Chain A
Amino acid sequence: MSILNGEEQSEAESTADSPAEPADPLIELSDVEFGYTAAPVVENISLSITEGEYVAIVGPNGSGKSTLMKLILGLLRPDEGSASIFGEPSHTFDDGARIGYVAQHASASKEMPITVREVVKMGRFPHVGFGMLSAEDHKIVDEALATVGMSDFANRRVTQLSGGQRQRAFIARALAGEADLLVLDEPTVGVDAESVDAFYNLLESLNDEGITILLIEHDLGAVTDHAKRIICLNREVYFDGPTDDFVESDALARAFGTAATVMGET
């Protein structure tokens, strides 16, 4: 658990005036339970996330955050209860282009020679299938690179990038896929503080454009500075609500089992 010094909530107004008209949930879990063995890793999970939200799932190590993310994405099937995404059961959902996924790092070997542009082009693969990328696809790739400020890095090898630049490339891949939902699994691990700020600003501007953001984070400081809604998890949901309420609640201490607080908030 890392606790960063928070700054003033700059997006206070934008959270205040967003009760909005009820929209169809983009993600919905009801009474979800899952375990790799007999003991459940997560249980009694019911939550729904609607379009345009900026939600962070936080919790201590081993609290089931990544498992919950896999259940949402349909990479795992719940033992009990149901998970749906874009109105379809998660495990049968196949319009993968609508979801952009960003993790700490890719699974390939570190020596793999691959350029930033080649990575971003992968975002178009769900659209083109076995075919070739069209001129229009290439244009979308260029735009995605420009959006994350990486146009000048397009032909550099991914291995030459810093952690922050690499994450921008992965975000660009999601944008090239024209994803409606961005799922980020601890995206800022190993990224320097300055880049982390720029990274969260980028997420914020994408959220302003209507992209739903689901962030799995252990860095509570960053989360409380940026996310608009917090789901605090430790096997069960300990808290689910607006960020401001989370900071004032005792959910953190209960979920983490310590007298943890977010610094900078009084």
Chain B
Amino acid sequence: MHVELFTLLQAGPLDTVLAPLYWFLSLWSDLLFFVEGVTGLEFLQYQFMHRAILVGLCIGVMAPLIGTFLVHRQLALIGDALAHTAFAGVAVGLFLNGVFSLGVSPYLTAVIVAVIAALLIELISEATDAYNDVSMAIVLSTGFALGTVLISLNAGGLAVGINQYLFGNLSTVSAENAAILLVLFGIIVATIALTRNQLLYVTFDETAAAVSGISVTWYNRVMVMLTALVVVGAMQIMGVILVAAMLVVPVAGAAQVSKSFTQSLLVSVVLAELAVLLGIGVSYYGGATAGGVIVLVAVAIYAVSVIVGKLQERASDDSVPELGSIDSTEA
């Protein structure tokens, strides 16, 4: 009796919805074939690489965007927790496919499960009045445990394909998954663009934001749900285990060298894109897992940022400007 629901999730109607995005993907592919013709870059001759690069570029924008708000609230761990629950979502998708032979994309079930987990974490924190390591660790372990149990229950063929979810894989980014990611990308970037003022205020000073009439609870919910979407989107390439690094490492690097919040957002995106593109290139020619290489490159970039930050500090003018008069009536 749930068949209707499952059919809805199946490829058919989804393909209709995603049709314009498939068109965009083919356009993107044409562009990269053209670039390959001009530059002779070997890895651009494969269409899966085109999709992987597009997905990578999207990750390089959305992960540090939401990561900036998380890191400065000292919530870096939340990405990890949600990634592990997203793994449970993948397992649910694979389980449904295995038992009912449905064509549900495991990424769709991952989105659903991760968003539910995000709300759960947020509700726990509202009830206990604090985000705490313990509840986060419990959600993280529960997600991962549920995932492994579901997969082992359904043994046989399933365990084989699990590596791609754990560690990510460039070659398995299907057109459908790339299109789903584009949808997520649109939702995430649009939401952050719309609510940037409120997210910044809540991040910087929660009580002052609440006093100024911003619903802190509501924006916290928005933030964790966006995190869930980013994590699932980035999981395809980065893998469950390493995906959270993209939320944290470029942001930490940007914080070292940036003078303002706006600048740190831009710099973190630039650093993330650098890590993604270099990482994909290196992993292709080196034959290594992309997720791991991307994170290693990102960490190397972070190390350089720390040094650059220190040098900047030394080179900068140490003189403190004079405080102005505070007598406003005469101003």
A residues neighboring B (CB under 8 Å) = 73, 75, 94-97, 99, 101-103, 106-109, 111-115, 117-119, 122, 125-126, 128-130, 146-153, 155-157, 165, 168, 170, 173, 177, 183, 198, 201-202, 205-206, 208-209
Give CA–CA (A64, B175) in the complex, Å. Answer: 60
Give CA–CA (A6, B206) in the complex, Å. Answer: 35
A157 and B259 within 8 A (CB): yes
- Hey, which chain A residues are within 8 Å of B200, CB to CB? 118, 122
Give CA–CA (A108, B321) in the complex, Å. Answer: 25
**When the two chains form the complex, which single residue of B71, B206, B210 contacts A109, counting CB atoms closer than 8 Å?**
B71
B214 and A96 within 8 A (CB): yes
Among the stretches B54-62, B138-146, B159-167, B190-198, the one at the interface with A is B190-198
In the complex, the chain A residue whose C-beta lies closest to that of B330 is A205
Instruction: Say yes or no for B24: interface residue by CB 8 A criterion.
Output: no
- Hey, which chain B residues are within 8 Å of A208, CB to CB? 329
A114 and B326 within 8 A (CB): no
Leading 6 A-B pairs by shortest Cβ distance: A96-B213, A149-B324, A152-B321, A96-B212, A106-B205, A101-B211
Q: Which of B288-324 contact A (CB under 8 A)?
A: 321-324
A125 and B203 within 8 A (CB): no
- Hey, which chain A residues are within 8 Å of B323, CB to CB? 149-150, 152-153, 165, 168, 198
Give CA–CA (A165, B323) in the complex, Å. Answer: 8
B214 and A125 within 8 A (CB): yes
- Hey, which chain A residues are within 8 Å of B90, CB to CB? none
B residues neighboring A (CB under 8 Å) = 71-74, 194-195, 197-198, 200-201, 203-214, 254-255, 258-264, 321-329, 331
Interface centre among A106, A107, A148 (most CB of B within 10 A): A107
- Hey, which chain A residues are within 8 Å of B206, CB to CB? 107
In the complex, the chain A residue whose C-beta lies closest to that of B254 is A113
Pull 29 A–B residue pairs with CB atoms less than 8 Å apart, ordered by A. A75-B207, A95-B213, A96-B211, A97-B212, A101-B207, A109-B71, A109-B74, A112-B203, A112-B204, A113-B255, A113-B263, A114-B204, A115-B260, A122-B200, A125-B214, A126-B213, A146-B324, A146-B328, A147-B326, A147-B328, A149-B324, A149-B325, A150-B324, A155-B259, A155-B260, A157-B260, A168-B323, A205-B326, A205-B327
Give CA–CA (A103, B195) in the complex, Å. Answer: 24
B212 and A125 within 8 A (CB): yes
Give CA–CA (A94, B36) in the complex, Å. Answer: 57
- Hey, which chain A residues are within 8 Å of B209, CB to CB? 122
- Hey, which chain A residues are within 8 Å of B259, CB to CB? 113, 115, 155, 157
- Hey, which chain B residues are within 8 Å of A170, CB to CB? 208
In the complex, the chain B residue whose C-beta lies closest to that of A201 is B326
In the complex, the chain A residue whose C-beta lies closest to that of B72 is A112
A183 and B211 within 8 A (CB): yes
B73 and A146 within 8 A (CB): no
Known contacts A103-B205, A119-B204; A113/B212 CB under 8 A: no
Interface centre among A102, A114, A155 (most CB of B within 10 A): A114
A114 and B260 within 8 A (CB): yes
- Hey, which chain A residues are within 8 Å of B197, CB to CB? 122, 125, 128-130
B213 and A97 within 8 A (CB): yes
B72 and A146 within 8 A (CB): no
- Hey, which chain B residues are within 8 Å of A75, CB to CB? 207, 210-211
Give CA–CA (A149, B325) in the complex, Å. Answer: 5
In the complex, the chain A residue whose C-beta lies closest to that of B211 is A101
Give CA–CA (A102, B208) in the complex, Å. Answer: 7
Give CA–CA (A169, B326) in the complex, Å. Answer: 12
- Hey, which chain B residues are within 8 Å of A130, CB to CB? 194-195, 197-198
- Hey, which chain B residues are within 8 Å of A108, CB to CB? 72-73, 203-205
- Hey, which chain B residues are within 8 Å of A183, CB to CB? 211
Give CA–CA (A208, B259) in the complex, Å. Answer: 36
In the complex, the chain A residue whose C-beta lies closest to that of B316 is A160
**When the two chains form the complex, which single residue of A94, A146, A157, A165 contacts B331, counting CB atoms closer than 8 Å?**
A146
Q: Nearest-CB distance from B316 to chain A (Å)?
A: 10
- Apart from A97-B212, A115-B260: 13 A-B pairs, beta carbons within 8 A: A75-B210, A96-B212, A96-B214, A106-B208, A107-B206, A113-B264, A119-B204, A149-B323, A149-B326, A155-B260, A157-B259, A205-B329, A209-B328
Give CA–CA (A147, B330) in the complex, Å. Answer: 10
A113 and B261 within 8 A (CB): yes
- Hey, which chain A residues are within 8 Å of B325, CB to CB? 149
Interface centre among A112, A157, A206 (most CB of B within 10 A): A112
- Hey, which chain B residues are within 8 Å of A126, CB to CB? 212-214
A177 and B212 within 8 A (CB): yes
